[in-house]
Chain A
């Protein structure tokens, strides 16, 4: 099958490659670009571990062909840290609030939460839970992930984070 030439901006850098049309975006990102932060959990559009941000949308990159992303701007977990290399508010939140255990879901969770906070910088707990419904975590029970996102939201808004009483 003839290969197609694709170019895209990934984490701010122009990249290009030759792909078979059937190449899934997650495979292009992990194998061609060697960015292995986005994970393959289920490969069936359920777990969200493969989530990347494409032109301002959270997308499960196991359910998109690389050719469909031609010309787009993509952010993966590798592009989430602050420009000076320090942790972003979300990354810091996951660390401070123990938002991860094994860490497998974390790249997808953070990339998804990043878009959620761009669209809604002060989400309620319910909005956070609804907003990350496409990302499964087998370890944490979600409680600390929610807190991590609340921590980041507070930090972004310049207010002090207070854990809700349990």
Chain B
């Protein structure tokens, strides 16, 4: 369980980190909370020659409001998300999800940036970021660009992040007040990744769903937006038939891996149940 040898760098600005990443090339990796990367390094599934520790870069920390959006620095930890009054007020679903990730120790270290950029289909934040229409600010040798979360994930551990680029912030547009929300996660035990999970954000008017967005975790190589399922509930009062239809439409796009968390059929089955439960709970919370 001893990781391979590497050189350690601790830059204090984004520009220095980007310069290091570009000049050291493929063998360099950013180090955020280390709670995905260090376990991989111990197993020698990752053997970077250089680690660029992002902890010394003050500008990657913090949560701030910018016009109609909340901007969260990439190095903000899950623990800091839980402690943030801004997050609790605007995005209680972010808090609900963070509480379902791992355990207290992991949440003190693990960052939102590391979670969304890691590309592991088991990470919980990516599907939520898609559901919230978030975008990622990427800074590289050629400048800054914003990529929508829904365009970011390409396959397990494959993302739109280019070599030399750093994720600096996550931007989430504020949602209508009175929205309903829920993150439903089935896991085998505390601290486990999802067997299946679903995120729902919706608004209701006169007992009918007005808008809805549904994300799915660990039910494919990448997080998924279940658009057809969300369309199926618009204008309805979420009666049992509608819930069943939404669940079936979501299941149509699921292609989970068979692993220790269960065979494909089981994971799709419980994936559908997570969608129904999340829809019901979100509707009950909508004003």
Complex-state Cα separation, A108 to B3, whole angstroms: 23
Surface stretch bound by A, among B103-111, B137-145, B221-229, B245-253: B103-111
Surface stretch bound by B, among A44-52, A83-91, A94-102, A158-166: A44-52
Which residue of the partner chain, among A43, A57, A60, A133, contacts B42 with CB atoms under 8 Å?
A43
Partner-A contacts on B (CB < 8 A): 1-8, 10, 31, 34-35, 38-39, 41-42, 51, 53, 55, 79, 102-106, 108-109, 190-191
Q: Which residues of A contact B41 (CB under 8 A)?
A: 22
Which residue of the partner chain, among B1, B42, B105, contacts A112 with CB atoms under 8 Å?
B105
Interface contact A65-B8, CB-CB below 8 Å: yes
Quote the shortest CB–CB distance from B85 to chain A (angstroms): 16
Interface contact A134-B38, CB-CB below 8 Å: no
Q: Which interface class (under 10, 10 to 19, 20 to 34, 35 or more) fits A?
A: 20 to 34
Of residues 20 through 50 on chain A, the ones whose CB sits less than 8 Å from some CB of chain B are 20-22, 24, 43-46, 48
Interface contact A67-B8, CB-CB below 8 Å: yes
Q: Which residues of A contact B190 (CB under 8 A)?
A: 133
Report 18 cross-chain contacts, Cβ distance below 8 Å, ordered by A residue.
A1-B5, A4-B8, A21-B6, A22-B3, A43-B1, A44-B1, A45-B106, A59-B108, A64-B109, A65-B38, A68-B34, A68-B53, A112-B105, A133-B103, A134-B103, A134-B104, A134-B105, A134-B191
Scoring A residues 89 to 130 as 1 if CB is less than 8 Å from chain B, else 0, what string do you get?
A: 000000000000000000000001000100000000000001
Interface contact A1-B39, CB-CB below 8 Å: no
Q: Which residues of A contact B38 (CB under 8 A)?
A: 45, 63-65
Quote the shortest CB–CB distance from A149 to chain B (angstroms): 13
Interface contact B39-A22, CB-CB below 8 Å: no
Interface contact B6-A22, CB-CB below 8 Å: yes
Q: A43-B42, A57-B108 are in contact. List 18 more A-B contacts (CB 8 A).
A: A2-B7, A20-B5, A21-B51, A22-B6, A44-B1, A45-B38, A45-B106, A57-B79, A58-B104, A59-B108, A63-B35, A63-B109, A64-B109, A65-B38, A67-B53, A68-B53, A116-B104, A134-B104
Which residue of the partner chain, among A1, A4, A48, A68, contacts B105 with CB atoms under 8 Å?
A48
Among A48, A57, A63, A133, max chain B CB count under 10 A is at: A63
